[in-house]
Every structure is written in C-alpha cells, then in structure tokens.
Structure 1
Amino acid sequence: MTRIEGESAQAKGADGAQRAKRWLESTTRVNAQWVNPNPPAVAKLTFAWPHGGQNFSFDLGGTLKYGEYDGQEFFAESKNYAEPSDLPKHYSKFLAQCYVAYDKMPARADHFMWIAWSPHSITDWPKLTTADYVRAHVLKHHERVFGTDNEAMAAPLVNEDVVSAVASRLWLVVLSQKQETLVISKEHRSVIEAYETRRGE
C-alpha cells in the first residue's frame, strides 16, 4: 500500500467511526464519547496483545443509557466498506480482540459492536455471534493470543468462559447511507434528553 492509499484508508476509517458515533447517539441510548484517533480516547480503547509486543485499539466506545443497559460500556469496530471485500478477515481479528479485551478487563467489556456498511460471510451469518465461531477465530490468532505457532497446542488454552461471555456480548450492526438519514432529529433528541434529566432529578 502506498502512502497516499494508506492516508486515504485512514481518512475513510476515521469518517466511518464518526458516522457510527452519530448513528449510535441518534438512538438516544448511547453516549459514544471515545472515538479514535482523538488522544483522550486512545487510552480507553487500546489493549495489548498478550504476545508479540503489539497493541490494538477499537474504533470507538462509550456507555449505554437507560433501560436494562444503563451505565454499561461498549467497544465498537466500524468498517466503512461498500462491499464485503476482506471484512471476514477483519471480523476474525475483531473476535480475537474482543476475547483479549474481556479477558483483561471484564468489568469494562459489557458489549462489543461490529458496525459495517456491508454484510459479509452471508452463509455463516447465523453463526457469527456463537461461541463456536468465536472460539474458532480466537484460535486463528493463536500466536498473538496464546504465544504459540501451533494451533493444536493453543486449543487447550482457550478459556471457554471468556469465549461464552464474548459471544453473548456481540452486536452486529449493518448500516446504509439512507438508513443514517432516517433517525431522530437533534431537536427531538434534546427533548428526550431533557425529559430523562428531569426524571432523574
């Protein structure tokens, strides 16, 4: 990838994160206060791979509001792709990242959201949030997660409780440009927020 291509991909990724933030917050149930690459957000969204000396970070995160999810935190990955392209590869890595994040900091890992502008892995779609699928893709990244280049040796090291926890916390969100426009207006959202503030008082 050339420098120009890299900069273009980075800009596209940043745009996708901002668009995901706007859509999530338009639901009135989300405060997506951490967005990469804003410096205050980086520390909140960055984790270290257990092996290999490298870090990874989610694209955005924050807290959910009201109802059964009130006060719970989420991490999200946004993929601003018009076509499936290499999304399956990215989703595989995302699952391994979720496993590491939950294993390291379960108190903050209440939800993991995959937000994309294209579906992928259609034939496997019903399986994408299952424990079996999570386990299989955590093992695909066995070197960075378990420190071994042998997948068979890594298999017994998988923490099944962490796998189940991650699977139960996964959200798959597929957006479109038109869908992004069909949301509550800022004016109406402010009415809801004012109501919730008064109710809390």
Structure 2
Amino acid sequence: MTRIEGESAQAKGADGARRAKRWLESTTRVNAQWVNPDPPAVSKLRFAWPHGGQNFSFDLGGLLRYGEYDGQMFFAESKNYAKPSDLADHYSQFLAQCYVAYLDKPGMCDNFMWLAWSPHSITKWPELMTAEYVREHVIEHRVRVFGVKEKDKAEAMIDPDALSAVASRLWLIVLSEKQENLVISKEHRGVIEDYEARKGD
C-alpha cells in the first residue's frame, strides 16, 4: 500500500468512526464519548496483544443509557466498506481483540459492537455471534493471543468462560446511508434529553 493509499484508508476509517458515533447517538441510548483518533480517546480504546509487543485500538467507545443497558460500557469497531471485501478477515481479528480486551478489563467490556456498511459471511450469519465462532477466530490469531503456533496448544489454553462472555456481549449492526438519515432529529433528541434530565429533579 502506498503512502497516499494508506492516508486515504485512514481518512475513510476516521469518517466511518464519526458516522458510527453519529448514528449510535441518534438512538438517544448511547454516549459515544471516545472516538479514535481524538487524543483523549486513544488511551481509553487501546489494548495490548499478550504476545508480540503490539497494541490494537477499537474505533470508539462509551456508555449506554437508559433501560436495561443503562450505565454499561461498550467498545466498537466501524468498517466503512461499501462491499464485503475483506470484512470477514477484519471481523476475525475483531473477535480475537474482544477476547483479549475482556480478559484484560472485564469490568469495562459490557458490550462489543461491530458496525459496518456492508454485511459479510452471509452463509455463516447465524454463527457469527456464537461462542464456537469466537473460539475459532481466537485460535486463528493464537500467536498474538497465546504466543504459540501449534493449534492444539492454543486450544488447551483458551478460556471457555471468556468465550461465552464475549459472545453474549457482541452486537452486529449493518448500516446504510439512507438508514443514517432516517433517525430522530437533533431537535427531538433535545426534547428527550431534557425530559430525562428533569426526571432526576
């Protein structure tokens, strides 16, 4: 990839994160206060692979509000792709990252959201949020997760409770440009937020 292509991909990724933030907050149930690469957000969204000396970061994060999710935290990955392309590979890595993040800071990992502008792995869609699928892709990234190349060694090291926890926290959200516009207006959001603020008086 050339420098110009890299810069273009980075700009597209940043645009996707901003659009994901805007859509999530339009639900009135999300406060996505951490967005990469905003400097105050970077440390909140960064984790370290257990092996290999590399870090990874989620694209955004924050708190859910109201109802059954009130006060829960989330981390999210956004993929601004018009076609499936290599989304399946990115999702595979995302699952391994969720596993690592959960083991590192379980108290902060209430929800893991995948937001994309294209579906992927359609024939496997019912499996994508199962513990067995998470297991498969954690093992796929076993060198960085467990520091071993042998598949059988990685299988012996995996934490089944963490697999189940990650699977139960996954969200798959597929967006479209039209859907981004079919949301509550800023004016009506203000009414809702004012109502919620007054409830505490």
- TM-score computed with the length of structure 2 as normaliser: 1.00
Q: In structure 1, what is the equivalent of residue 22 of structure 2?
A: 22
Percent identity between the aligned chains? 75
Once residues 177 and 69 of structure 2 are traced to their aligned partners in structure 1, the CA distance between those partners, rounded to angstroms, is: 27
Alignment of 1:46-85 (within 5 A): 46-85=46-85
Q: In structure 1, what is the equivalent of residue 158 of structure 2?
A: 158
Q: In structure 2, what is the equivalent of residue 182 of structure 1?
A: 182
Once residues 45 and 56 of structure 2 are traced to their aligned partners in structure 1, the CA distance between those partners, rounded to angstroms, is: 8
Q: In structure 1, what is the equivalent of residue 9 of structure 2?
A: 9
**Which blocks of at least 5 consecutive residues in structure 2 are unaligned?**
none
Q: In structure 1, what is the equivalent of residue 43 of structure 2?
A: 43
Q: In structure 2, what is the equivalent of residue 139 of structure 1?
A: 139
What are the Cα deviations for residues 20-50 of structure 1, in whole angstroms up to 9, with x where unaligned? 0000000000000000000100010000000
Shift of 1:150: 1.1
Once residues 187 and 14 of structure 2 are traced to their aligned partners in structure 1, the CA distance between those partners, rounded to angstroms, is: 26
Q: In structure 2, what is the equivalent of residue 192 of structure 1?
A: 192
Shift of 1:200: 1.7
Query: Could you tell me which amino acid in structure 2 is paired with residue 132 of structure 1?
Result: E
What are the Cα deviations for residues 45-78 of structure 1, in whole angstroms up to 9, with x where unaligned? 0000000000000000000000010010000000
Q: In structure 2, what is the equivalent of residue 98 of structure 1?
A: 98
**Which blocks of at least 5 consecutive residues in structure 1 are unaligned?**
none
SS at match of 2:81: coil
Once residues 192 and 151 of structure 1 are traced to their aligned partners in structure 2, the CA distance between those partners, rounded to angstroms, is: 51
Q: In structure 2, what is the equivalent of residue 32 of structure 1?
A: 32
Once residues 37 and 56 of structure 1 are traced to their aligned partners in structure 2, the CA distance between those partners, rounded to angstroms, is: 12
- CA RMSD of superposed structures (Å): 0.4
Once residues 150 and 32 of structure 1 are traced to their aligned partners in structure 2, the CA distance between those partners, rounded to angstroms, is: 39
- TM-score computed with the length of structure 1 as normaliser: 1.00
Q: In structure 1, what is the equivalent of residue 149 of structure 2?
A: 149
